């Protein structure tokens, strides 16, 4: 009987882990989207002033 209870406990923790991982992925995606949007709003001159070009935006948004 204790084996079944242990499996249920692990499943509950695993389920919470999956939800936490999905939440984290969505939050990361959202943050990258906001970063991408804000950088795209800058002019080429403004990007150059901070040492970036349009080709850098995706890399920066993804955090690489």
Which pLDDT belongs to residue 15?
75
Q: Which of 29, 25, 47, 49 is nearest to 57 (CA)?
A: 47
Torsion 57-58-63-64 (CA) sign: negative
Residue 39 contacts residue 60 (beta carbons within 8 Å): yes
**Low-confidence residues of the chain: pLDDT under 70:** 1-14
Q: Give the whole-angstrom CA distance, residue 60 versus residue 14.
A: 32
How many C-alpha atoms does 36 have within 13 Å on its Cβ side? 12
pLDDT of residue 21: 95
Structural domain spans, the chain: 18-62
Q: What is the pLDDT of residues 13-28, one digit of tens each?
A: 567 899 999 999 999 9
């Amino acid at each position: 009987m204790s084996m079944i209870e242990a499996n249920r406990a692990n499943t509950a923790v695993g389920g919470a882990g999956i939800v936490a991982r999905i939440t984290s992925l969505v939050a990361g995606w959202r943050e990258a989207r906001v970063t991408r949007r804000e950088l795209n709003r800058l002019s080429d001159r403004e990007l150059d002033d901070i040492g970036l070009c349009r080709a850098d935006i995706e890399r920066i948004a993804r955090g690489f």
